[in-house]
Amino acid sequence: MTATKGLEGIVATTSSISSIVDGVLTYRGYNIDDLAEHASFEEVAYLLWFGKLPNEQELQKLQKDLSDYAAIPDALIEQIKLYPKDTNTMAALRSAVSSLALYDADAEDMSQEANEKKAVKLQAQLPTIVAAIARIRQGKEPVAPKAGVSVAENFLYMLRGEQPEETSIKALDQALVLHADHELNASTFASRVTVATLSDIYSGVTSAIGALKGPLHGGANEAVMKMLNEIGTIDQAEGYIQQKLQNKDKIMGFGHRVYKNGDPRAKHLQKMSKELGDMKGDTSLYDISVLVEDTVTGQKGLKPNVDFYSASVYTQLGIEHELFTPIFAISRVSGWTAHILEQYDGNRIIRPRAEYTGLTDQKYVPLSLR
């Protein structure tokens, strides 16, 4: 038995949800470029869960369900108010989603119908939880969700407490489409491992949030913004990156386990970052990002991943960096739950082996002789 570090190249399951072949990402056979340009996030979530794009009636039903389920229990809001104000936002989200199960009478119902309903509920409630965490941390009261609007609009509305402008809604909606699923990434794998024991969907999503939190995965978008803030002005960018590379530090938002020639999602976020900067009449954040990309790609050949330009996009949408990874979760919960439903269908427990590298032939030594 020989271990493959990081399971690189190991095919651990079959899946018909999303694929990455020769650097091309598809959801259910639809190219991400096509979806990013034309589809709403709700259409994409439906596609991931049910394997086809919804017709008008199916989309309306999903939009209604998402609206109907969006409110979170008062008891959960009270609980969030008790979290320390400086709690890491992903840690708060992980705890809140775990608690959410306690208030769902169907939490342990393992029927397919109940699990599909819980997938939609989780999708509806994650944005409400994230907005509530953000507002409570700022000493404000949470804003109740608005009926009949998209996930993107509702999230921005609950976060800001006022109607967001159309440009922001569109940009966030497209970012949600781009982050919705990504084959067997670390958090999705974590969710599948958890539910393959026949544990419940809330446990699967809680595991996934824990995995997404790390800076080598979803947490990278927050780390990118910290880096851009440290750089500060464009004249500092090249020197800052050269120093980091010399120190053999990782540059957040670059590199990918699967894409070695570039992440197909990055170009959409780059375009969005430029457009938002143009609209504000200040492209400095975008300009610094481009110079960082040129330097890292020029020196190391590493290309930006989905997290790199999402940092400048969210910042230009007026979103604080602590919310970047939770926003990733708001989108990816669609993919996690689609994978969880797929895992339940024809499940087998996921239990690989380890190559043992420890001591052998040890003999027990009584405590008094140690």
The length of the chain is 370
256 in contact with ligand ACO (CB under 6 A): yes
The yes or no reply on residue 6 touching ligand ACO (CB under 6 A) is yes
256 given a catalytic annotation: yes
Smallest CA-to-CA distance from 293 within 328, 317, 322, 269 is with 269
The size of the interface with ligand ACO (CB under 6 A), counted in residues, is 19
Helix (H, G, I), strand (E, B) or coil at 249: coil
Residues in 290-349 that interact with ligand ACO by CB under 6 A: 300, 302, 305-307
Q: How far is the CB of 19 from ligand ACO (least distance, A)?
A: 16
- Taking CB under 6 A as the rule, does residue 107 contact ligand ACO? no
Selected from 91, 107, 144, 216, the binder of ligand ACO by CB under 6 A is 216
Q: What does the buried/exposed string (b/e) look like for 198-223 if buried means 16 or more CB atoms within 10 Å of the residue's CB?
A: ebbbbbbbbbbbbbbbebebbbbbbb
How many other CB atoms are there within 10 angstroms of residue 163's CB atom? 12
Selecting among 256, 268, 321, 339, the annotated active-site residue is 256
Which range touches ligand ACO (CB under 6 A), out of 10-18, 84-92, 196-204, 247-255?
247-255
Q: Which stretch in 38-46, 108-116, 212-220, 275-283 sits in contact with ligand ACO by CB under 6 A?
A: 212-220
CA–CA dist 16, 28 (Å, integer): 6
The beta-strand segments (E) located in the chain are 18-21, 24-27, 30-31
> Is residue 99 within the footprint of ligand ACO (CB under 6 A)?
no
Draw the binding track, 167-186, toward ligand ACO (x: CB under 6 A; -: no contact): ------------------x-
| 255 lies in the binding site for ligand ACO (CB under 6 A) | yes
Rounded to a whole number of angstroms, the minimum distance from the CB of residue 216 to ligand ACO is: 4
Taking the C-alpha atoms of residue 113 and residue 125, their distance in angstroms, rounded to an integer, is: 18
From 179, 182, 307, 321, active-site residue: 307
Is 106 a residue of the active site?
A: no
Residue 31, beta-bridge partner list:
26
223 DSSP β-pair partners: none
User: Interface with ligand ACO by CB under 6 A: which range of 71-79, 125-133, 143-151, 248-256?
Assistant: 248-256
Q: With binding defined as CB under 6 A, does residue 211 bind ligand ACO? A: no
Cβ neighbours for 287, distance < 8 A, ≥ 6 positions apart: 234, 277
Nearest to 328 by CA among 211, 244, 235: 211
Tell me which residues are annotated as active site: 256, 307
Residues that bind ligand ACO (CB under 6 A): 6, 185, 216-218, 220, 250-257, 300, 302, 305-307
